[in-house]
Structure 1
Amino acid sequence: MSKRGRYISLSRRHLLQQALALALSLNLPRTGWADKPKKILRQIPSSGETLPAIGMGTWLTFGIDLDDRAALRTRTAILKTFFDLGGEVIDSSPMYGTAEEVLGECLKKLEATPALFAATKVWTSGWRAGVRQMERSGLLWDVERFDLMQVHNLLDWETHLATLKEWKAAGRIRYLGVTTSHGRRHAELSRIMETEPLDFVQLTYNLLDREAEQRLLPQAKERGIAVLVNRPFQGGRLFNRFASQSLPGWASAIDCTTWAQFFLKFIISHPAVTCAIPATSQVEHMRENMGACYGRLPDAKLRQRMLEYVRGL
């Protein structure tokens, strides 16, 4: 065999081994090379840039005591697993206690520079306080600029959105947006989406909280606004309600082996959704979450079947 032929054979074997390792780590069925699961990507409408459809939130899970070295090691392992499995989007906020500082500390401990899409928020009142808070977030994360800066829960949004427009024009941030959570203030969010040049909105959407389907998701699709989805597990209550039940056998048709993947694939299969951002404090749960970013997604008919199944439980 020629050197060239041997190189191609070894490369193919190496790639096949990588594909198998990925499938095992994501709890997906073992497949042949031709069936290697593909990462699910979504476009940001305002730019055409693509992002993985599963990201990572930090609410509650990263707001830990900085002196707890064991907890810090676990968060670093969670981040490494997230990036190793193709994650990019990480979302945080000054509202989340020490989460931004913890993120910064853990990112520094990673051996390789990850493909990070850094998203955080401004959560205060007044122009000066907002600027100080956003600059402090940059120091805590240790990033030169944020990919996405959002006005958290619409707090003083007129003031902060004016600043974000200036910062985007100056290249200090790449994208701007606003957020809501817990299904609140949808009417106000809709008015802002109609009149302001938003790149992103963030809102609550999951199998049980589906109010966003009525107006906000269609509006985002029509207006060309990317959508981040928070509380995809309803703050953990979806697991409390359904995890003791059997996952339906037909879930394998969309490459789901866990309830987390079932919940997440329902969300990211909506045509208006760009990225879901589940939070976790466990490495194994991160593997499960990232498994939803690979393989097949439900079509409209199967989405309806998913809804009917959980309604019957």
Structure 2
Amino acid sequence: MNVWKQDRPTRDASAVPAPHPWHRLVALGDSFTEGIGDPEPLSEAGLRGWADRVAEELSANQPDFAYANLAVRGLMLQQIMDQQLAPAMALKPDLVTLSAGGNDIVFRRSDPDRLAEKIDDGVGQLTRSGATVVLFAGPDWGATPVFSQIRGKVAIFNENLHAVAARHDAVMVDLWFLRELTNPGMWDPDRLHFSPLGHHTIATAVLNSLGVPHTLVPLQPKQLPPRNWRQARAEDLIWAREYLVPWALRQLRQHTAEDELLHAKRPEPGPVFGIGSPPGPFIGGSSAA
């Protein structure tokens, strides 16, 4: 597997990350990769997300490192393949993250085997270009009302993704087995997207899977007070009314002019002004916040 080998990723916040072999990261996907749930006014489109957090770490002490994020919220797997694959390859990345298919399973109840066939072809194209590809097995929504009904399909899709990763020597980040994500504090109130703490946790998992030393420190989420069953059911009803139903209706309706205005927040690779990388001029790419 094309992964930078280290005995153990450092989690000391004072440690300086060691160099790694990658110089250009391109992130593909939907709202998960765009960073929905992790607002940050100083970031592109007002969002940060796990991909930005990973790029910040990878850019440390790597002056020529560049990062592009082509993800657009709401896209289905085939749309991601059609709209993002070719532009991503044109940017000539040596590291690509790809997360797709979640919207298909959640909102279209699509066949996980057919979805895996589509993603397998895309991953094959990316790996043949010489890039290291990172894939994601979806989280376990078993404790979430309504979504628990598709738990089996998510599990099947995840197993297929493991096979795709093995076939193409890709790196797998398995969110299903990342049990920290079962904590409510890891999720946005809509229960569809991750909170800032969730995005932070996923960024840590990505860097660990790549074998890259980093400065991210796992945060212990504050324990929620015990809830009785009446409180839990009342919260479920509020969530369904305020988040689930409006989201489902948006997914089912036809594309509108508003949808056509959605675009990637970082369409061109540029420097990441994170740790160890002070702002400055960059030739050949857009500036980053």
Where relative contact order (Cα < 8 A, 6+ residues apart) is larger, the structure is 2
TM-score (norm 2): 0.36
Higher helix proportion (structure 1 or 2): 1
